[in-house]
Structure 1
Amino acid sequence: MKKQLCIALLLLLTAGCATRESGTGVIQGTSGQAFDPSGPSVQGAGTGPEIAAYLTEAYNNVLPMCRNNPSAPSFLCTGVMLRATQHSTQFHFWNPNPASTGVSFSWLRKDAEFGKLVFGYNNGFILYPDFFKPAGKIALAVLCFFPVDGATDHRPDEGCGQYPDRPNSRPCQSQGITTAAHYIAHFNANAGMYGALCGFDVRDELNEQGARAFTEAVKAQGQLPASAFSTQNEFRIRKWAQNLGGTLPIEAVFYINDAGKVGAQYDQRDFKTNTGIWIPVIKITLPQTAANDARFEFIPADQAISS
């Protein structure tokens, strides 16, 4: 009888906690219910407050690898992978530009911060870390990472290759740039010339070498001069097909200021209309200095639709 009472008390104490199981694809809500966004539910894999809590946790988690696996780079389970977008009624935010060779994202973590979005955009969307994507969502291929903007629209190899006429912009490892110290020297020699900077190859097939390269790249970003804080980092991801909204691992839409709120609200409605899946609008407050932390907030009044 005492044992049964203890179990009952434990269940009461743990009820209401949001849990996220690494690598299982299962995300439990406040009731302990596992959401399957590939099923008939109109909600994604978590409530708004839970998603804000997950993003905060991912931002603060500065592990150098996932699951203690030296072949699993930390972007698979930590940080906030976000893409800034420009609001338009002419296209869906989740579709890549047909003319692009790849898709650019930035990655925000406590040790990989920046103070603004690319092109001064004010809203966009967020991907689940690969190890936490819900069941039924596709995996996206991460190709390369630039500690600061890589001017990837002008690079071959899906945005990861050499910038035209700048040999020192070819992938970092091909130049023997394999540590944070190497990259800082490279940056100082090419300061202000983003097309001249190299990116780190972090493709999955590189295994431990790719994971180690990413760890050094994150360290390098943290050692950049203060003048670089206003420039976002850049991931390049392989372009996916059009109209895959329902199977893309999209966690939320976001905005950073009032100018971006309307765009995020439109994107929330558009995503629900086209996929049947509700995702939250999240307000992100970007850090204004390296000493500040980013904030992730679910604000009920911001939601264009509640479910």
Structure 2
Amino acid sequence: MKRQFCIVLFLLLTAGCATHELDRSTIDEPSGQAVGVQGAGTGPEIAAYLTEAYNNVLTMCRNNPSAPSFLCTGVTLRATQHSTQFHFWNPNPASTGVSFSWLRKDAKFSKLVFGYNNGFILYPDFFKPTGKIALAVLCFFPVDGATDHRPDEGCGQYPNRPNSRPCQSQGITTAAHYIAHFNANAGMYGALCGFDVRDELDERGAVAFTEGVKAQGQLPASAFGTQNEFRVRKWAQNIGQTLPIEAVFYINDTGKVGAQYDQRDFKTQTGIWIPMIKITLPQTAANDARFEFIPADQAISS
């Protein structure tokens, strides 16, 4: 049974029951804008939603064991570099998938991939505005998975490294299993496995993701400077208007310039205004990320 069907059935059976997940039901659309066109919140509201999503450490969504927590919590972000040669929301045509990282209170890291300074953020799937497409999350690596060199849309075995095949296929199903695997392979990205979290796995995928997040939290301190990695199925080119993009972000002044360019470009190409959010990444495990909307930093106000 597909997870989507299970979720719909669950909602019908439990309508009116209280939940403990992020509640965006009070979001107001800007006056005169159609739902799913302008977005689902002002800059300060989006910063508040991101903060709440970051702090929400549920292990499942809507009390559904088949709904992994990334569907309703955490901050799914992709680090990018701005360019006049392509739009930030278009996948690399040569890539077999699209890589993201997932930031949450129990899944922290101190820097972005390749030392990048800006990028964009996706809505959690359960809170994307009407008219936005669902993106398929395929696998999760507690640390960078060197996915550009892997088959199966980036989730398969790294060439000539059999220990890197998907975790469940080699009996790695718990955080403890993964930590032993990490230590045995000296933390080499290409030698490490990823957890299969595809939708069709239902509860098994949700459990695998929970164990992957636990594993990230148990990694040695030396791994804190390396981001985790989601692999997402590649989408079509030039569909920015229907992608579930919540915001662009930056982590410093260098990234601010790139985010300003991307904010303008997205509005020009799609007609949709999205906020620029400043993310302060935690520099130690004791610190937390911060999400801020700074009006003076915005390239455009609407």
Q: When the two structures are superposed, what TM-score results if normalisation uses the length of structure 2?
A: 0.91
Kindly indicate whether the alpha-carbon contact (under 8 Å) linking 1:26 and 1:135 is maintained by their aligned counterparts in 2: no
Correspondence 1:50 to 2:45: yes
Deviation of residue 87 (structure 1)?
Answer: 1.3
Q: Deviations over 1:259-295 (max 9, x none)?
A: 1000000000000001111000000000000100000
2-side partners of 1:261 and 1:56: how far apart?
A: 20
Correspondence 1:186 to 2:181: yes
Deviation of residue 38 (structure 1)?
Answer: 3.5
1:162 aligned residue (140, 157, 170): 157
Specify the structure having the higher radius of gyration (Cα): 1
Amino acid at match of 1:82: L
Q: Which runs of 5+ in 2 are unaligned?
A: 1-19
Aligned in 2, Cα 1:83/1:47: closer, same or farther, shift over 3 Å?
A: same
Correspondence 1:61 to 2:56: yes
1-side partners of 2:217 and 2:247: how far apart?
A: 26
Q: When the two structures are superposed, what TM-score results if normalisation uses the length of structure 1?
A: 0.89
Kindly indicate whether the alpha-carbon contact (under 8 Å) linking 2:79 and 2:119 is maintained by their aligned counterparts in 1: yes
Q: Which runs of 5+ in 1 are unaligned?
A: 1-20
2:148 aligned residue (122, 136, 153): 153
Q: Deviations over 1:207-260 (max 9, x none)?
A: 000000000000000000000000000000000000010000000000001110
1:105 aligned residue (75, 100, 106): 100
2-side partners of 1:293 and 1:34: how far apart?
A: 37
Percent of aligned positions with the same letter in both sequences? Answer: 88
1:225 aligned residue (220, 229, 242): 220
1-side partners of 2:221 and 2:83: how far apart?
A: 34
Kindly indicate whether the alpha-carbon contact (under 8 Å) linking 1:22 and 1:132 is maintained by their aligned counterparts in 2: no
Kindly indicate whether the alpha-carbon contact (under 8 Å) linking 2:133 and 2:242 is maintained by their aligned counterparts in 1: yes
Kindly indicate whether the alpha-carbon contact (under 8 Å) linking 1:22 and 1:131 is maintained by their aligned counterparts in 2: no
Aligned partner of 1:82 in structure 2 is: 77
Aligned partner of 1:198 in structure 2 is: 193
Amino acid at match of 2:51: T
SS at match of 1:230: coil
Aligned partner of 2:27 in structure 1 is: 28
2:288 aligned residue (267, 288, 293): 293
Supply the RMSD in Å over aligned alpha carbons: 2.0
Kindly indicate whether the alpha-carbon contact (under 8 Å) linking 2:153 and 2:233 is maintained by their aligned counterparts in 1: yes
Correspondence 1:140 to 2:135: yes
2-side partners of 1:139 and 1:44: how far apart?
A: 15
2-side partners of 1:36 and 1:25: how far apart?
A: 17
